[in-house]
Amino acid sequence: MLVTSMKSSSARIAKPHGSNVGTKLSIGLGLLTSAFFVCAAPSDKPTANPIARAGDSAQHSLPQHASTDKSATTVCRGVSLQVLGSGGPELDDGRASASYLLWKDEKAKVLVDAGSGSSVQFGASGADFTDVDIILLSHLHTDHAADLPSFIKGSYFTRRDTDLTVYGPAGNDLMPSTQAYLDALIGKEGAFKYLSSYTQEGEDDYKVSAHTVADTTFSTSISDDISIEAISVHHGPIPALAWKVTIDKCVAVFSGDTNNADGTLANFAKHADVLVLHNAIEDIEKGAGSAATNLHMTPEQIIEIAKESKAKRIVLSHIMKRSEAGLDGLTEAIAVIAPGRVFAAQDLMNIPLVSDLTREEGR
């Protein structure tokens, strides 16, 4: 039985820069009577997200998101990156705020950032919150972290019974630590203290904990096939992290918001299977002021990082109105100078990361 309060959603089929194919699918979920899936081809081509029903059961069938090619010559088999939100904090950009999902074998395993609107897009992606192993936050600006309590409340309607850890940055005078943020939201004295049972051992179906990353570098193993790393990055006065997630030797790197003042991103993302770079401002000669360049990378910097990293795929995201005008030019410039394929992010775009090693020289 279809139960949904969502009126509609949209997904985009997109291809790397250079392709002239870009199709928007607008599907009224309220009209669907069964799940609607678009399966990925066993190739490197990004596909539309599947639109799944928002059912009353946590066991509704899940889409096939990436290749199930059993060839021994492939890496990242079954792994894909889905953009839940490709925008920044603007109200009228037509995009949800920053958020990404990493899928493995048709399960959404890692949520990176939880910006405004991401919990709605999570449902539209067909993901099941029961499958999510961890949440990683790059920093605590609203366009990266505001939907966290919505995910926790929404989980009440799932069958989740495994504990959940939210990893994120330390605090300073301007921002709370990730632990303090979680406490301020759903702790016993939090704004949404009606959800505080999720922070107390044994009081609910599972427990949510925060892990504040206080050091400039951090790494840990989450499970047999998932490990994470973080480095602190400069985002003006805001504590911020770039994240690296490795799933079965498949590497996804997320710049988060940063101006890369330390110059560490390219090396951190060396040979990554996908590198998500936030393209929030224009170049200095086109008007970017010092406040913006203290927070974000310019397109010129993004091109350099894309080139130096030798990442296999570059995803330009966190698109804002001031950066959208130059987006075509930027993707074109990266396509010319960097070895990887380039994608301009759209909400719900899903990019299989499978690669054929026989056609590439190492990793």
Chain positions contacting Zn ion, by CB under 5 A:
88, 141, 143, 257
For residue 93, give every residue at least 6 positions away whose Cβ sits within 8 Å of its Cβ, in sequence order, or none.
Answer: 87, 319, 320, 321, 324
Phi-psi region of 307 (alpha: psi -120 to 50; beta: other; left: phi over 0): alpha
Question: Rounded distance, CA 110 to CA 248, Å?
Answer: 13
Burial 168-185 (b: 16+ CB within 10 A, else e): bbbbeeebbbbbbbbbeb
Shortest distance (Å) from residue 35 CB to Zn ion:
32
Nearer Cβ to Zn ion, position 95 or 307? 95
Shortest distance (Å) from residue 129 CB to Zn ion:
23
Phi, psi of 272 (to 5 degrees): -60, 150
Nearer Cβ to Zn ion, position 143 or 282? 143
Nearer Cβ to Zn ion, position 195 or 241? 241
Shortest distance (Å) from residue 115 CB to Zn ion:
7
Nearer Cβ to Zn ion, position 133 or 257? 257
DSSP characters for 84-117?
Answer: EE-B-S-SSSSSPBSEEEEEETTEEEEEE---TT
**Residue closest to 144 by CA, chosen among 183, 108, 179, 181:** 181
Shortest distance (Å) from residue 172 CB to Zn ion:
14
Shortest distance (Å) from residue 257 CB to Zn ion:
4
Residue type, 97: S
Nearer Cβ to Zn ion, position 317 or 346? 317
Shortest distance (Å) from residue 276 CB to Zn ion:
12
Shortest distance (Å) from residue 43 CB to Zn ion:
32
Strands annotated E in the chain: 9-14, 22-27, 74-75, 79-85, 99-104, 107-112, 134-136, 164-169, 208-213, 217-221, 226-235, 238-247, 250-254, 274-278, 313-317, 341-344, 350-352, 355-356
Nearer Cβ to Zn ion, position 196 or 259? 259
Shortest distance (Å) from residue 116 CB to Zn ion:
10
Nearer Cβ to Zn ion, position 12 or 141? 141
Nearer Cβ to Zn ion, position 128 or 143? 143
As separate numbers, helices (DSSP H) first and strands (DSSP E) second, the chain gives 9, 18
Max Cα–Cα distance, the chain, nearest Å? 57
